[in-house]
Structure 1
């Protein structure tokens, strides 16, 4: 019979952050997920008051944490952790038999909202069906515009081209709506995340990014990611393009940083698989722009939400859809103190047997 895991092993294996605080509110223990969320090692967290670590808390939460016998459940609250601002669900549980000692758990809202994701997919599904019916008359309009252009005098051809250009723009919008509402997922396979990132950067640069510096901070030891290469590249193109627009529009020296690292403690509840999937591959796109309007920050991944005057609000919604199809997670954070906006992708690592099979196929 296999030995039962120790309490320490059970706590270390939790996919959400957990810290133990003493009667004075100081941290006594922190699991691996807490280290990742708070951006500091357990050794550095131990002994510090939890209110020093978690800034920006609501007054009611501060009062409960200050009362060393109070329990609390708080959903979707903002915290200013050392790494960045984010939204979490927080619980505080007193330990019976140990007066003043409590267990605090934190789980990022962006990694839990699977029900909302399903609701949004259903919402966008109906328009995508309607979009299919719209494309047929659009093709006819475009064809008629081209025929008319041939018969018009040169001075009037510009109007005909305007018709075909607008039809093409509407068709591209419909294509994005259909992709967003699709229930089909592309196959995933082991791939090198750095190759996908560099290809995406090259594509964005080709579109014109001379006025913005794009820096790479890659972990060279990062293992292959389990993803769809084309979808991953499209996601990164969208995020870097958005970062470029934000930085160029608000800074004299616009900068974008693309960083990769391995975070072993993060997991996400995948809708399609019905189970938690570990997501140790992290890709972060950071820009030094002014950031997204605070009123929109909690809705940036929803369809038809955009801070751009001419935006359709489908780019980030599509990013989220593609990432979720790869059993990954995407989140947005604003570091007010540093003046940086972070978009973080978390993706599954390719299992060793999958990487071996992929190498065999290439041979």
Structure 2
């Protein structure tokens, strides 16, 4: 310490005090480190001693149990309660030895029984009534070995307990015994090397205080310690800055009051507007948006302050309306559907330019109204009305079809009495095919017209898809049906789901075959809540105008089709809490039907 302060002039007591404080702090830290190390080592030794006493007591407990058995060797090797006791105590080895150290019996069910010695060293054989405890931390599994007198004094009981925690404590003690002194020494060396460098900022601060003394008014700084003079100078500087800041704050407040009225009005308008509202400035930056607008466009408040052209790039109609309004042309109540950008929402927008009294354009106001729910309710109401009417009609038609089936079957009986066997067989075959066709249509009508009882269970979709594909390969061998992906299980009625899959695959195969195609692809994708089965073909596809009608009963684009196959698929999906949709296949170019089903019980 004398070397550190030898070159300090008498007029620099503050720096000498800093050096004394730093060195004193280092010495105190060294004292704390040494004290902590000693305390840790003492605690470790105490824990080791306590562990040895506890293990000795546990070994004595085992010996006492064996003494009460009357057959110590057999009880140690075979008794279930003794085994449970040893395992609960964490024993790794246990064996009985005679007075000369030969092993008599061992607990073979313990983990390290195969490592037991055949003989017990003389040093490990305690006198009657005493015990030997030693550590074996170099073993593959660290052990604490306890040897006590065997029951009746006829030998010794040796029990080895798991000492992994004890071994870790010993290793930690050894590491800390080296690391703590080394770290303390390194800290002292670093402090001695950089103490002079650490004083440079203090010197710079003192010099700055000297220079600032002439920039502020007031009384001169007091004489004495340089630290006192620096503090006084900085106090006067802060007071001067406070006075000048108050003057600037007063000017700013007056300017702010003039702008607050307009800002409050604009903010209130944006927040309280029930619909979506966007504010775009004259440079086409999005400056404000209320919560309904952010939700409708799936934006976050991070978009504020960015260019409106970039933020609204996913909604071309909205972007075009903003650009037109910025040029002075408003857009009033225009509807647009933005597809995936807003989750399939239908929005109505009004974009009007904003100008001041002089006619200078200030920006654009955009009002948004979400009409998705209204349109959806209209479609659902229309679909329900149509399904109700068609249900009644299909029930009546099914009744008529059943009557027709009975008539056809009557003709079958009449044809059976024909004289020519060939004619009779030909007529019977034709009538039977017609009857089966009518019966199938009748079943479809009834399934669609009346509520169906769904027997829900965990259903293997992989097996159902395989069956549907196998059947279709037999019916239309000219069409290649491929399967990709994993389908897993879904929660539903296996019979109804099989019917839906058969209808989808057959519809795709017939579309491919009739439209000049040769390929059908069935793929699966599992999500967190639903499994999606995609069936696509390379046929002509479905026109956009007809896409909304394909699931309507009795609507068919195929010659001779009944218009019930896809309608039944839609009803089965609805009964299972799922959905079915149609779109153009990006891979094959034809139609792609997507059946979504829940993966678990709702």
Normalising by the smaller structure, the TM-score range is 0.5 to 0.7
Cα distance in 2 for partners of 1:30, 1:251 equals: 47
Question: Residue 201 of structure 1 corresponds to which residue in structure 2?
Answer: 469
The answer for the alignment partner of 1:314 in structure 2 is 564
Residue ranges of structure 1 left out of the alignment (5+ in a row) = 1-18, 35-46, 265-278, 355-363
Provide the residue aligned with 2:226 in structure 1.
none
The equivalent of 2:400 in structure 1 is 134
1-structure distance, mates of 2:557, 2:279: 44
Describe the SS at the equivalent of 1:183.
coil
User: In the alignment, is the contact (CA less than 8 A) between 1:238 and 1:319 conserved in 2?
Assistant: yes
Report how far residue 319 of structure 1 moved. 0.7
Contact between 1:185 and 1:325, CA under 8 Å: does it hold in 2? no
Higher relative contact order (CA 8 A, sep 6+): 1
User: Residues 154 and 20 of structure 1: is their aligned pair in 2 closer, same or farther, counting only changes over 3 Å?
Assistant: farther
**Which position in structure 1 is the counterpart of 2:581?**
331
Q: Say if 1:133 and 1:254 are closer, same or farther in 2 by CA, change over 3 A.
A: closer
Q: Following TM superposition, by how much is the alpha carbon of 1:309 offset from its aligned partner in structure 2, in angstroms?
A: 0.7
| Shift in CA distance, 335/51, structure 1 to aligned 2, threshold 3 Å | farther
Select which of 148, 151, 155 maps to 2:417.
151
Shift of 1:349: 2.7
Superposition map of 1:143-182 within 5 A: 143-152=409-418, 153-157=420-424, 158-182=426-450
Deviation at 1:320, TM superposition (A): 0.5
Distance (whole Å) between structure 2 residues aligned to residue 52 and residue 251 of structure 1 = 40
2:530 corresponds to 1:297: no
**Of the two, which has the highest radius of gyration?**
2
Larger relative helix fraction: 2
TM-score of the two chains, using structure 2 as the length reference = 0.41
TM-score after normalising by structure 1? 0.64
CA distance in 1, matches of 2:436, 2:469: 26
Q: Helix, strand or coil: the match of 1:304?
A: coil
Q: CA deviation at 1:256?
A: 1.9
User: C-alpha separation between the residues in 1 aligned to 2:393 and 2:516?
Assistant: 37
Which residue number in structure 2 is paired with residue 183 of structure 1? 451
Counterpart of 1:341 (choices 584, 588, 591) is 591
8 Å CA contact retained: 1:235, 1:319: yes
Change (3 A) 1:260 1:106: farther
Shift in CA distance, 210/260, structure 1 to aligned 2, threshold 3 Å: farther
Larger displacement relative to structure 2 (191-200 or 103-112) = 103-112
Supply the distance in 2 between the matched residues of 1:251 and 1:133 (Cα, whole angstroms). 38
Secondary structure at the counterpart of residue 591 of structure 2:
strand
* Number of aligned residue pairs: 296
Q: Distance in 2 between matches of 1:245 and 1:178?
A: 24
Aligned partners of 1:305 and 1:312 also within 8 Å: yes
